[in-house]
Chains A and B, each alone.
Chain A
Amino acid sequence: MSGTRTLVHLLSVAMLLLWGGVLLYFYISGRLVNYLPPDGIFRPMVLISGIGLAVLGLFNLLTMGAEDPGCEGHDHGHDDHDHDHKDCDHDHGHEHKHEHGAACDHDHVHHEGCGHDHSHDEPKDCGHDHAKKAGGCGHDHGHTHDHAHAHSHEGHAHGILDESSWPGRIAVLLILAAPLSWAALSSPDRYSPNAIVNKGLYDPNYTDTSRAEQFSLQNKPKTVAKVVDTPPAVSASLPPANVTTTPPPGVNAASAAMADGAKKVNEKDLPKPAQASKSYGSFSLEDLKAQVPQSKDGNFILEVPELYYTGGDVEVQRVLTGQLVETVAQILPEKVNNADGHRLRIFRMLVQCCAADARPYSVPVDFGKKAPEFKDMTWVKVTGKMNYKKEGDQTVPIIEATKVEETTAPENAMIY
């Protein structure tokens, strides 16, 4: 193996170990919880692939001296190959003097001035040494040929690192190593207010039904199980959501099952999703108490996404209006309907698959007087009375604050 080949091989191994190392570090240090959701296979995949990259790197490091079998026992036949130099229509008259040793180390004797960058498509171990000799060609090409010398072993993978010249190799190594290392060293593991605004902090759509299944308060199917003899699996997977195709949230399994046929006909006639809140079936204070934990003062402890989704359901609003609720969230200034400066906005980030798709779910907090000053992004515990106001074309859930105090961040900053 020639010096260049060895170096490229070692650098390749180093890149694998770097990528594997970053994956493993984030998994082991626990910082990964800020990037990927706990459910599904996302987090285990990071561990597995971190180990996989490390093993792949070490395997290639330890077998570096091994012969690539494709190299053994046959003639390389360099002479048969036409150096198809597209850029200059003349014969270069190369004198390839191949001295194939046992380990396929050949010496290519090139004439100076040709400036070829021969990327031989051969297994690494067959490292060629291109020795250049002055004189002979007598013309200056002034360009580098970046052609692959196709050898008779088909399919030997040669990556960019093998095929490039040194400036190219350095660029590849930088692209592979720099952004990842930089991100690993300086990622704050959380977003700045700027990103949160860009991700839609001030554009809430309270009638959204995308993850209503998870967060909307509704007449839960537990009372339903005894009414119908539908298998539990069916009622569990019953969709509360997508307005355009499926029954709305809160329709319990019984009515959905009974009306299934009729609904299908009606759904397609539904107009485009209206912005106004709708009724999704009956909801009572008992339902609320049964589902939502209460603090020792009797406040209903709700997450911001749960409050957010109440903006779409008139039945829940009827029950929740005037109730004391309590929630922990981050705080930012309010920019919507806040001419008098009485409001702040609290939000939680909701992640679907990875932190890049995190979206803020937010509700305004009204103080009834000049809102107190909080540092952006402060974690606060807000206690207040729920109210609903028609603002613009939607019904906005508003917490009329009775108490707002700074608190520590919850274990999971993002909700999954």
Chain B
Amino acid sequence: MIFLADLPAPTRMGDILMAFLSIVFEGAPYILIGTIFSGIIDAFLPAKLLDRVLPKSKVLATLIAGFLGLVFPVCECAVVPVIRRLVQKGLPLSCAVTYMLSAPIMNPIVAISTLTAFKEFTGLSFATAGNATMTIARLSLGYLVAVIVGLVVLRFKPGQVLRHSIANKIAEAAADDGHTHAPAVGFNGKLVHAMRSAMRDFLDTAMYFAIGVAITSAFNTQINQSLLNTVAGNDWLAIPSLMGLAIVLSLCSTSDAFIAAPMTAFSMAAKLAFLVFGPMMDIKLLFMYSSVFQRKVVVSLLIGLFILIGLLSGPWMQLIQSLYHKP
């Protein structure tokens, strides 16, 4: 145990450093899990497996990709390196984008944390959904938005969306079709390859993560958070302002519900927007997405998601609530 006397005195800069470290400690383990997973995919997953498993129809495949988070639960830090790899392995881009956006929401860990934070366990059983309004609204809207974005992406070629270095690899893989080459010789060779991929992926992701977390920690400690409360009562401003907060706070999707639940001043619709938008877009993700997508695509994603979720969250919350309170 280190005594406080040994530590520097708290300063404004110290506040930022402290917030920075705490988010790194929270997020880095998941980035590592994601990158080791992506390294293993790279070395051990046969490139054509995805083609065989997924349905031929890309629309159907996209609809299914939105549920993959239930099988491979990852949070948003871990999903970025994973989809980067899956895209290079031949996963259709629309599926990858849908998985990327939905997995941090449509995922059992997030469902449990949302149930817990909003105290929605009461009356929950296999027969009735209890009063899990927020959890159901969050998972369903997350899925819907992810699929919509995935279907929009269907209209574009990978080269228009992905970073050139990644798009080139896909083109290369496609050109390589039919050419049988054994990418790995034995388990040891594959392991070496997997670990090298994991190392590079970790460093790539961690770099963007570090930039995002640095900016977030500055906002988190240097801006008076109560500024947002002044707009909470306004129906028009509440939703965009909570989405703005989600961008700034860059919370992990496994824990953001605990932050949203206490905001009693905000409506359920605004909290829903916070909980759906946050896992799909925030400052750290803005940078992490840049390791996969072209800059203009990341910016379009930011604006598109902001508008889409901003418009949908109000009516969606009403819909879910009305389904619940049907006499």
Surface stretch bound by B, among A58-66, A101-109, A317-325, A337-345? A58-66
Q: Give Cα distance in the complex from A124 to B25, angstroms.
A: 30
| Neighbour of B19 across the interface among A36, A150, A210, A356, CB < 8 A | A356
A377 to B88, CA, bound (A): 53
The answer to whether B28 touches A23 (Cβ under 8 A) is yes
A188 to B15, CA, bound (A): 8
Whether A60 touches B195, Cβ cut-off 8 Å, given contacts A52-B36, A155-B89, is yes
Stretch from B100-108, B223-231, B294-302, B305-313 forming part of the interface with A = B223-231
Instruction: Say whether, besides A187-B21, A246-B122, A355-B18, A157 and B201 are in contact (CB < 8 Å).
Output: yes
Q: Given the complex of chains A and B, what is the CA–CA distance between A60 and B103 in angstroms? A: 30
Contact A357 B25 (CB under 8 A): no
A30 vs chain B, min Cβ distance (A): 5
| Binding-face segment, B3-11, B50-58, B275-283 | B3-11
* Contact bitstring B197-213, A, C-beta under 8 A = 1, else 0: 11111111011001101
Segment at the B interface, from A40-48, A110-118, A291-299: A40-48
> Closest residue of chain A to B198, judged by CB?
A56
B22 at the interface (CB under 8 A from A): yes
**Chain B positions within 8 Å of A161 at CB level:** 200, 203
Does any Cβ of A come within 8 Å of B285's Cβ?
A: no
Cα distance A59–B39 in the bound complex, in angstroms: 14
- Give the residue of A36, A60, A267 whose beta carbon is less than 8 angstroms from that of B199: A60
Which B1-49 residues have C-beta < 8 A from chain A? 1-2, 4, 7-15, 17-26, 28-30, 32-33, 36, 39, 42, 47
Q: For B190, give its contact among A69, A197, A207 (CB under 8 Å).
A: A69
The residue of chain A having its C-beta at the shortest distance from the C-beta of B13 within the complex is: A186
Please give, as numbers and ranges, the residues of chain B lying within 8 Å of A279 by CB-CB distance: none
Residues of B within 8 A of A364 (CB): none
Q: Which residue of B lies closest to A46 (CB)?
A: B25
- Mask for A48-74, Cβ within 8 A of B = 1, else 0? 110011001101100100111110111
Choice from B118, B214, B252, B291 contacting A353 with Cβ under 8 Å: B252
A356 in contact with B220 given A74-B181, A152-B176, A157-B85 (CB within 8 Å): yes
Asked if B268 lies at the interface with its beta carbon under 8 angstroms from chain A, I say: yes
Complex A-B: 10 CB contacts under 8 Å? A67-B189, A68-B193, A69-B184, A69-B193, A148-B165, A172-B207, A187-B20, A245-B134, A357-B251, A377-B10
Q: Which 5 A-B pairs have the closest CB atoms?
A: A210-B262, A239-B119, A159-B200, A69-B189, A154-B173
5 new A-B pairs (CB below 8 Å) besides A53-B32, A66-B189, A191-B14? A56-B195, A175-B210, A192-B11, A194-B15, A208-B262
| Contact surface of B with A, Cβ cutoff 8 Å | 1-2, 4, 7-15, 17-26, 28-30, 32-33, 36, 39, 42, 47, 85, 88-89, 118-123, 131, 133-134, 164-165, 168-169, 171-173, 176, 179, 181-186, 188-190, 192-193, 195-204, 206-207, 210-211, 213-214, 216-217, 220-226, 229, 249, 251-252, 255, 258-259, 261-262, 264-265, 268, 291, 321, 325
